[in-house]
Structure 1
């Protein structure tokens, strides 16, 4: 049987092997330190949550900044079964350090909790602040009673509070000519001193156009905040607040009036009179709410 003639190979060129279909070598999955799938090429139809960014808290993990949620930083503990006597000594030293640290932390909590008792000085927050607060100094100027004042009260393990807001009426007025609010807070878990001072002493820095003056002889510290924008017949407003702190108890008494026009029998009282009334009535209220 004759063999078909082959095409001659060009001189100087090696013989070419027969062509086979190309195949990709199988490569097993490679280990990686990145715990998430490759975000550049996820499998079709798959969905992956975005990886947590650096600096974001991870649920269930100790958070930075709180020494009581961090694992003890005593270095690696040697295996219990190796290292001989020296290894066991290092192990017991590390365990002892952990126990001592836990006992110290517990002692801080126990002593701190016992020593940080609330300084309430015998005050009690009434359930009806409107009938318990004294505002008698305003009665000559505003003799009409508010028939439906707003009042609230709160009793909680962290805070007791009594609040009242009422309208002040001149004789013959159908509507309120001014407003008065009174609020007593008994802080039973945290000392309000630092925040109280920061809020009221610096009130003029955070609120434009207000005068702030310290007041003597009321509680541990007190501040009078006032503003008068009235200008002849064009109207305006007059506002005054007396903020008092006595131990862990705070009392805030505020007066405000808003005017659009004046007539002879509707002129508001002078701001100096209002601030004197606030001081007198705040002292009287605190005295009668202190057992």
Structure 2
């Protein structure tokens, strides 16, 4: 009996061949000019998820990750009389109770008392709800068209503002400021907030991280200063605060190339002092 011819094995995908390498997509060039919107992460971030990338974090919630279902114990079939049926119904009851608990946690993300919002309320416009008066001495001109967004959902309330800071006589923004408040109503942002901001400097080259006492339950100051003389560089600082299940981010950034050689930008020490003062004032205002 003759053996039927065998079909040749199918060829693997092109990327599996030694003479072919996966194509590398072109990388976007970085713009030397700042954008009033913070470049793309908390935040993220996400939710704050993702993680914040170097530079001012994006608005968004990087923390709300739905918990997984708890493992459901298998039902064991037991043969026999009344005792066997009792064991069987006990196992079924355990399965139903476990599934109900898991579904409840998945749907609400909250157990044992609910969200700890500390009495905060998210304003419809963060541009008018936040206090940034410490910056007005250096930047007295108001932004005539700031950007603000808000979100009000069952799981999350969020209010965000981004505006340009102008010195006297400036036609364009000399620096940028953004503020973002998140009320996490379904999940506790604490663990991911700590992991993200406490370790920011270890995962992003060139940044410094310092804990800040006396603001909320925990706060971290993230900064980077590459200004050298009057020729170029940037100055960046974010204050990230968590108070219960509420998070607040305040970010300042400037690029010396757009600041003007006839103007001396504020020092990083001055900027971080303003961030701390205004963050305290804003959080107090949004709890009253």
Q: Same fold (TM over 0.5)?
A: yes
- Please report how far the alpha carbon of residue 103 of structure 1 lies from its aligned counterpart in structure 2 after TM superposition: 3.4
The answer as to 2:116 corresponding to 1:122 is no
Residue 251 of structure 1 corresponds to which residue in structure 2?
248
CA pair 104-264 structure 1, distance change in 2 beyond 3 A: closer
Match of 1:90 among 84, 101, 119: 84
Q: Which runs of 5+ in 1 are unaligned?
A: 1-21, 23-39, 42-64, 79-85
Deviation at 1:115, TM superposition (A): 1.2
Which residue does 1:239 correspond to in 2?
236
Residue 115 to residue 226, structure 1, CA distance change in 2 (3 Å): same
The C-alpha deviation readout for 1:129-165, integer Å capped at 9, x for no partner, is 1011100001110000000000000000000000000
When residues 233 and 104 of structure 1 are mapped into structure 2, their CA distance, relative to the original with a 3 A threshold, is closer
| Aligned counterpart, 1:140 | 137
The offset of 1:216, in angstroms, is 0.5
Matched, 1:72 2:108: no
In the alignment, the residues of structure 2 paired with residue 91 and residue 113 of structure 1 have an alpha-carbon distance, to the nearest angstrom, of 35
Classify the secondary structure of the residue corresponding to 2:230: helix
Structure 2 matches for 1:216-235, cutoff 5 A? 216-235=213-232
What residue in structure 2 maps to residue 270 of structure 1?
A: 267
Hey, what's the Cα distance between the residues in 2 that align with 1:90 and 1:280?
A: 68
Structure 1 segment 57-68 matched on structure 2, within 5 A: 66-68=69-71
Whether 1:283 aligns to 2:277 is no
| 1:210 correspondence with 2:212 | no
Whether the 8 Å contact between 1:233 and 1:262 is mirrored in structure 2 is no
Q: 1:252 to 1:73 in 2, by over 3 A?
A: same
Task: Give the structure 1 partner of residue 97 of structure 2.
Answer: 103
Q: Alpha-carbon deviations, 1:215-271, whole Å to 9, x = none?
A: 000000000011110111321000011000000000000000001277664111011
Contact map agreement 2:75 2:92 (CA 8 A) in 1: no
Structure 1 position 72, deviation (Å) = 2.2
Match of 1:192 among 189, 192, 196: 189
Residue deviations 1:79-108 (CA, integer Å, cap 9, x gap):
xxxxxxx44542442223212442365467
> For 2:260 and 2:160, how far apart are their aligned partners in 1?
33
The answer for unaligned runs of 5 or more in structure 2 is 8-67
Q: Which has the larger radius of gyration?
A: 1
Q: CA RMSD in A?
A: 2.6
Name which of 134, 153, 157 aligns with 2:150: 153
Matches within 5 A, 1:46-57: none
Distance of aligned partners of 1:205 and 1:145 in 2 relative to their CA distance in 1, 3 Å threshold = same
Q: Do the aligned partners of 1:159 and 1:189 also contact (CA within 8 Å) in 2?
A: yes
Task: Give 1:71 deviation, angstroms.
Answer: 6.6
- Distance, in Å, in 2 between the alignment partners of 1:260 and 1:253 is 23
Could you tell me which residue of structure 1 aligns to residue 25 of structure 2?
none
